[in-house]
Amino acid sequence: MVNFSLEGKVALVTGASYGIGFAIASGFAEAGAKIVFNDIKQELVDKGLAAYKEAGIEARGFVCDVTDEAQVNAMVAQIEKEIGTIDILVNNAGIIKRIPMIEMKAEEFRQVIDVDLNAPFIVSKAVIPGMIKKGKGKIINICSMMSELGRETVSAYAAAKGGLKMLTRNIASEYGEYNIQCNGIGPGYIATPQTAPLRERQPDGSRHPFDSFIVAKTPAARWGTTADLVGPAIFLASEASDFVNGHVLYVDGGILAYIGKQPK
């Protein structure tokens, strides 16, 4: 029998007060995991705790800047002491700045790299020793289609996610012998509150141009939902994926497989 259960596992999902991280953590809880999450501000942690409580999920929240190695080490040590060794890490926290490359300041580029690439390195580095000691562990990096594709205004994000794809492969290469699996999930275009303005109907009732563009580029002919990411995340967090390592699972409705429709 394939084991998708996460019963008794401790799962740390970074930046999981809302959105994709919240959906994945909620799915993990349903599969039996104990949920721990962080966010950068107390108000976001409080918002997350209220959302988990409303969903009937017991979760622990920590204020922690995942780009700060000392803060991360302190949080991981506290989790290990009070809750247990982290069995599952999801590096979900991320930012995007949509700025044309020649208008982007180097400091803005560095900030995206810091949150989207350096932070997964810092948090992974903090949890791997506990996983080695335990003899198993799962790390899931939230990559992106932008680790495979380029697009206007997202040079820093695409560079960071491309780097995260290679960090995923390298963690798998370096720590696979300790029964640690590191894989990525590459979401397609997901319907979240942040993307809602791009899906609003126009005054004449027509689709937003970007909405039309995405639906036309997606064989599934729709935006993804956060629920679409839960099954793949549970698979990669469970014993069902014990021989899957260094892989990025793109949950994109088929966009990366599709060249697009011929113009009429």
Nearest CA-CA partner of 6 in 30, 27, 26, 32:
32
Burial class (CB in 10 A: 0-12, 13-18, 19+), 169: middle
Set 157, 175, 189, 250: catalytic member: 157
Round to whole Å and give the CA distance between 63 and 141.
Answer: 20
**Chain centre to alpha carbon of residue 12:** 11
Whether 91 and 15 have beta carbons less than 8 Å apart is answered as no
Catalytic annotation present for 189: no
Buried b (16+ CB within 10 A) or exposed e, 34-49: bbbbbbbeeebbebbb
Catalytically annotated residues = 157
